[in-house]
Amino acid sequence: MGYRVKAEVMDAEAMDRALTRIAHEILEANKGAGTIGLVGIMTRGADMARRLAERIERIEGTPVPVGSLDISFYRDDVATHLSPEVHATDIPFDVESRAVVLTDDVLYTGRTIRAAMDAIMDYGRPSAIQLAVLVDRGHRELPIRADYVGKNVPTARTERVKVLLAEHDGKDGAVILEDDGKGE
């Protein structure tokens, strides 16, 4: 099945502003950067975590620890689906008694976040887990919500949302893709 772009929901400037706002919101909610750690879900969430950390350091002047998390081994559909590629998980700080801010590009069913929370718990007991996403597209299948949202985008289940990041895709932005009706 092929996909074509239905709409652009975020351009590079909008993403830049959203990330800056989220950085400020994280600092406001946690009263500074002293007790937080960012953990990005592979692969685009990890890039997002690094960008947020840069902004937080610019604003507060203190570095924030950043990690990346691969949730392949925690998925609830291992029996039917294997991640083609497993990335290394690297959390270079102690999550114990820290507020861990999980970051991911798109929030959809919530199953990825459920798996990520289980994974974080295996590293220790954080004082809190918060969630930051660039796009919330709805259709949750679990009682999960984001604390920091770049943009809420109403979508149909048949559509796909793709967040583009310069690190992977050459440019920043977010688009809704729909079936182009051409089949295979």
Q: Which is nearer to another protein, 93 or 123 (CB)?
A: 123
Distant-in-sequence, close-in-space partners of 72: CB < 8 Å, separation ≥ 6: 82, 83, 86, 87
- Least Å distance between CB 73 and another protein? 4
Query: Which of 175, 177, 127, 163 lies closest to 48, judged by CA?
Result: 163
Placement of tokens 């949302």 in the chain:
161
Binding mask 7-46 toward another protein (x if CB under 8 A, else -) reads ----------------------------------------
Binding mask 67-106 toward another protein (x if CB under 8 A, else -) reads ---x-xxx---xxxxx-xxxxxxx----------------
- Least Å distance between CB 82 and another protein? 4
Q: How far is it, in rounded angstroms, from Cα 12 to Cα 166?
A: 9
- Least Å distance between CB 48 and another protein? 21
* Helix or strand holding residue 123 (H, E): none
Query: How many chain residues bind another protein (CB under 8 A)?
Result: 20
Q: Is the peptide bond before 35 cis (omega within 30 degrees of 0)?
A: no
Amino acid 53 reads A
Is 123 a binding residue for another protein by CB under 8 A? The answer is yes
- Least Å distance between CB 120 and another protein? 11
Q: Which is nearer to another protein, 170 or 183 (CB)?
A: 183
If you count DSSP H runs as helices and E runs as strands, how many of each does the chain have, helices first?
4, 8
Please report the beta strands in 11-119, taking only residues with DSSP state E, as ranges in sequence order: 36-41, 66-69, 99-107
Binding site for another protein (CB under 8 A): 70, 72-74, 78-82, 84-90, 118, 122-124
